[in-house]
Copies of this chain bind each other. A is one copy, B any other.
Amino acid sequence: MNKLILAALAGTLAHALPTSAQTAEKIDAAALAKIRDEGMNRSKVMETAFYLTDVSGPRLANSDGLKRANEWTKKQLTQYGLANANIEPWGDFGRGWDIEKSYVAMTAPYYHTMVGAPKAWTPGTPGALRLPVVVMKAATTEADLDQYKGKLKGKIVVMNVPNPPKNAEGPDLKRYTEEELAKMAEPAAPRPAANTPDEAAMAARRAQAALRTKMTDMLMSEGAAAVLSARGGIYGTFNTTNGAPYAADAKPVLPEIEMTPEDQLRLIRLVEAGIPVEVEMETKTRFQSQDVKGYNVVAEIPGTDRKLKSEVVMLGGHIDSWHAATGATDNAAGVAVMMEAVRILKATGMKPRRTIRIALWGEEEQGLHGSRNYVKNNFGDPATMKLLPAHEKLSAYFNLDNGGGKIRGIYAQGNEAIAPIFAEWLKPLVDLGATTVTLRNTGSTDHIAFDAVGLPGFQFIQDGLDYFPQTHHTNQDTYDRLIADDLKQASVVVASFVYNAAMRDQKLPRKPLPTPVKPAQ
């Protein structure tokens, strides 16, 4: 659809995609000024971020930290004056898991404390271990695995490091340039025709997965004591992930610590030089299976227009995080901004015509579980495209989950009718740096759950800052990384968008309904 043209908004730096037809969006300048004043001058966003990060702690799916954060946000949203604040189960998730002790050090050839944390859902060690290490290289065939048979019993197994630490290119804090934003606003090149699936590549991936399962089984059956692994990181950071399924009936695995590549590579270099290496480690992890449900936190500012109040504008972000830090940029930042946006709307006494609903999603990091199940429970099932009555009533969902950077615009997610409306909405925000509408899709977060059933779901464009490689899923995703000015700006932009959507005469335009898709196996 090449009717779209790149047009910098006259007299501004905006990069947007209006159609040639003029839109006539009513903008309530006085209301937006109030929103900006509250958000910039009486912000609570850093205080909110503090409670989400430092006070709640790591917020792994179904962990104690996530429970603390859910309870606190429910209470806080109620204090802001929102109605119907609730911690809603979305269905069955799996086991809860928390770390109670994490210690790992090299004790020979000399003492060196190492930096790491248990992989999620792995068991702890049986007390303190002090054992020799064996290095295991990446296996590409079963024969590669066979060579370790008989050599792993009573050993701590150090896995190879696929990503040695690299120095970051460019500055730590990255922001979009005007040129990059202009490029994003350009009409996308037509996509190449969908290829037939690469059967060979898929088969190779299946074989690799089967080999990994074999390796896990072999580590257990050969009697290895524990595993030390590393996936990447920079200057002492490490990346975290899960080391075992969270399903209540998951097969047992070994205790496993994910570590900095620096510590890991030192062990590997020493072993490869023929120097005996010994590691001391003690981890305790706690599982709970009493409550295997997953939850979202939901609250509302009820609409005030008799006809429109049954319609809903949603905003949200995921509240869960990985476990080695406090998930400040992923995604306490997004939650703090969304909570601040509804706080601003309440504090300024706005009377939205439509109902505004905030949702803080659980279990996003394991596959958008919170949002996908919320959509399925409330709006419709993408597998069948059987829609529920509320599907008709949702105007839009706005999401924030790309780090702590300020908002530079919005991904219109291929919705050509909505792009010129967003362009109009950005006009009063251009001086804050929010300028750009791109038709491009972005993925990997909760608006996808809405998009999948044909509902308008959007993620904002955010400055990247140090999301990659320093903070995303690392042990250094802490409160220290948050920049108050960026979060204030984002709060004002989101509150303005949500307010505009809640006041607009019509619901926002939609893309054609998608055809049913089977979820990926």
Instruction: List the interface of chain A (C-beta within 8 A of B).
Output: 50, 54-55, 57-58, 64-65, 68, 98-103, 105, 109-113, 115, 117, 164-165, 167-173, 234-237, 261-262, 265-266, 269-270, 273, 275, 326, 466, 470, 475-476, 478-480
Which residue in chain B gives the minimum CB-CB distance to A466? B167
Set B117, B234, B235, B479: member contacting A266, Cβ < 8 A: B479
Given contacts A103-B103, A115-B115, A262-B480, contact A110 B57 (CB under 8 A): yes
Set B99, B171, B236: member contacting A236, Cβ < 8 A: B236
Q: Shortest Cβ distance from A98 into chain B, in angstroms?
A: 7
Q: Which 6 pairs between the two chains have the least Cβ-Cβ distance?
A: A57-B110, A167-B172, A102-B113, A236-B476, A236-B236, A235-B476
* 6 additional contacts (CB under 8 A) given A54-B266, A58-B110, A235-B466: A99-B113, A101-B105, A172-B172, A236-B475, A262-B476, A265-B479
Most chain B CB neighbours (cut-off 10 Å) among A55, A100, A275:
A55
Which residue in chain B gives the minimum CB-CB distance to A475? B236
**Cβ-defined contact, A169 with B167, below 8 A:** no
Instruction: Find chain B residues with CB under 8 A from A270 CB.
Output: 54-55
Q: Shortest Cβ distance from A288 into chain B, in angstroms?
A: 15
CA distance A406 to B347 in the complex (A): 58
CA distance A217 to B58 in the complex (A): 37
| Interchain Cβ contacts under 8 Å between A and B, 22 examples | A54-B269, A54-B270, A55-B109, A57-B109, A57-B112, A58-B110, A98-B110, A98-B111, A99-B113, A101-B105, A101-B111, A102-B111, A103-B105, A167-B171, A168-B171, A172-B172, A235-B236, A235-B466, A236-B236, A236-B237, A266-B479, A269-B479
Which residue in chain B gives the minimum CB-CB distance to A47? B273
CA distance A236 to B117 in the complex (A): 14
CA distance A173 to B170 in the complex (A): 9
Given contacts A171-B169, A269-B50, A270-B55, contact A100 B109 (CB under 8 A): no
**Cβ-defined contact, B113 with A235, below 8 A:** no
Which residue in chain B gives the minimum CB-CB distance to A284? B111
**Cβ-defined contact, B98 with A103, below 8 A:** no
Instruction: Find chain B residues with CB under 8 A from A234 CB.
Output: 235
**Cβ-defined contact, B237 with A480, below 8 A:** no
Q: Shortest Cβ distance from A429 into chain B, in angstroms?
A: 26
Q: Shortest Cβ distance from A413 into chain B, in angstroms?
A: 31
**Cβ-defined contact, B99 with A165, below 8 A:** no
**Cβ-defined contact, A165 with B262, below 8 A:** no
Q: Shortest Cβ distance from A21 into chain B, in angstroms?
A: 44
Q: Shortest Cβ distance from A93 into chain B, in angstroms?
A: 20
**Cβ-defined contact, A102 with B99, below 8 A:** no
Q: Shortest Cβ distance from A271 into chain B, in angstroms?
A: 11
**Cβ-defined contact, B165 with A480, below 8 A:** yes
CA distance A356 to B389 in the complex (A): 89
Instruction: Find chain B residues with CB under 8 A from A236 CB.
Output: 115, 235-237, 475-476
Set B173, B266, B478: member contacting A167, Cβ < 8 A: B173
CA distance A164 to B481 in the complex (A): 11
Most chain B CB neighbours (cut-off 10 Å) among A57, A173, A466:
A57
Q: Shortest Cβ distance from A180 into chain B, in angstroms?
A: 18
Instruction: Find chain B residues with CB under 8 A from A164 CB.
Output: 480
Which residue in chain B gives the minimum CB-CB distance to A268? B54
Q: Shortest Cβ distance from A406 into chain B, in angstroms?
A: 15
**Cβ-defined contact, A262 with B478, below 8 A:** yes
**Cβ-defined contact, B117 with A113, below 8 A:** yes
Instruction: Find chain B residues with CB under 8 A from A168 CB.
Output: 171-172
Q: Shortest Cβ distance from A517 into chain B, in angstroms?
A: 40
Q: Shortest Cβ distance from A81 into chain B, in angstroms?
A: 23
Q: Shortest Cβ distance from A223 into chain B, in angstroms?
A: 27
Q: Shortest Cβ distance from A472 into chain B, in angstroms?
A: 12
Instruction: Find chain B residues with CB under 8 A from A117 CB.
Output: 113
Which residue in chain B gives the minimum CB-CB distance to A63? B110
Which residue in chain B gives the minimum CB-CB distance to A57? B110
CA distance A172 to B167 in the complex (A): 6
Most chain B CB neighbours (cut-off 10 Å) among A164, A165, A266, A275:
A266
CA distance A464 to B229 in the complex (A): 31
Q: Shortest Cβ distance from A1 into chain B, in angstroms?
A: 40
CA distance A270 to B127 in the complex (A): 30
**Cβ-defined contact, A102 with B105, below 8 A:** yes
Set B111, B170, B235, B269: member contacting A235, Cβ < 8 A: B235
Instruction: Find chain B residues with CB under 8 A from A68 CB.
Output: 110
Q: Shortest Cβ distance from A380 into chain B, in angstroms?
A: 38
CA distance A226 to B110 in the complex (A): 25
**Cβ-defined contact, B113 with A103, below 8 A:** yes
CA distance A110 to B57 in the complex (A): 7
CA distance A58 to B105 in the complex (A): 14
CA distance A266 to B56 in the complex (A): 12
Which residue in chain B gives the minimum CB-CB distance to A471? B235
Instruction: Find chain B residues with CB under 8 A from A475 CB.
Output: 236
